[in-house]
Amino acid sequence: MRTSKISQETSKLLNARSLSPRRSTRTSLSRFAHNGPVKKEESAEPLDIEDVIPSRKRKRDATPRTPTKQSPHKTVVKVKTETEESITFSPAKERKVRKPARKVKNEETGDVEIHPPNDWAEVYAVVKEMRTSGAAQHAAVDTMGCERLAQETVTPKVKRYHTLTALMLSSQTKDTTNFQAMNRLYTELPAYKEGAPVGLNLENILAVDPKLLNELIWAVGFHNNKTKYIKATAEILRDQYNGDIPDTIEGLMSLPGVGPKMGYLCLSVAWGKHEGIGVDVHVHRITNLWGWHKTKGPEESRLALQAWLPRELWHEINWVLVGLGQTICLPVGRKCGDCELGLRGLCKAAERGKVTVGRRLKEERIKEEGGEVVKTGVVKSDEVTGEVVVNADAE
């Protein structure tokens, strides 16, 4: 049979390769069994069955793919629709361009005029409202300021001396500390002679031992120097002013330890003469924060303010700004979230984080009280609603 002949040929080939056997695979043998007889090639080397039978590589059946129809004329466009959502804001004003006090030449007369800051009146009105009925009321200066420390039961002459002494002690000293020192002088300063009243007056200051006076005022700043100034001033008042205080700014500033701030405040409180502004560190610091001017010290600030501030405000501005500086606009740790200037966008130096929190709390209080936040706004947002094919071929 044909099958037996093929088997014989296969056995011969295998025997011929017995000295150097090589692998044979079932696949190769099975394919060889279905082929016709293989002629023996004359070769020096024995043939391998894999050399005789050509190998075939299995072809994988390709998965049919659906061709994607593309058109060079098609363009995909995303359509966005705008949705409006109403939200509420706190009643903050838009930012304005602030101009400090500045010199402007009058074209008609040729004179140089001082123009005030463009928003000073609005700022001052808001602060004064805060001081009288808002967050800045009940400051230490309201009850313990120098102008309130003089006793009401004494003569006007002695009362004026009380005001001068309180101002001399107030330098570099808190109002609460100054209040305590003045009380000690009122109650512990011995009488200059037997039968005379105890307490603060010119005669008792002249007679007191400097060491005892220093002990009575030790709590105030620079008490050693102030002891010398008070004793020296008492002698000047006795010898040159008949025991009273000077009624001019020149006379007051000639006294030891009395500068422009003390002099103008004393002249205003004791004599009712408003010839200048008493500028202390609070007034100097806050007006510079507002951008009203750029000055290096209280005296420069005084001159800058007097150049444009209405004269009727010269007396009260110290009380207004000192109280603000003691309650809200502190030297360290300003409470911008409680300040109406920051909440209304009127203070250029307000800390924005604190203002944001303050506005949120104010809105919550308004809602709790049944009120409404006045300012509203519209926020526009883009939303993708679908895709439209433009210039598509008709199906």
Q: Which residues are catalytic?
A: 261
DSSP 346-378: --TT--HHHHHHHHHHHHHHHHHTT-----EEE
> Count of residues for the chain?
395
Q: Tokens at residue 392, please?
A: 């598509």
Token pair 């009058």: residue = 106
Stated as kind and residue range, the H or E segment containing 287 is helix 281-289
Packing angle, helices 156-170 and 175-188, rounded to 10: 130
Residue type at position 180:
Q
Spatial distance between the Cα atoms of 315 and 268, rounded to a whole number of angstroms:
7
- Interstrand relation of 75-88 and 112-115 (parallel, antiparallel or unpaired): unpaired
How many angstroms separate the CA atoms of 164 and 149, rounded?
10
Question: Which value, in Å, is the radius of gyration of the alpha carbons in the chain?
Answer: 50
Query: Which of 287, 377, 273, 356 lies closest to 325 in space, CA to CA?
Result: 287
CB 301 within 8 A of CB 288: yes
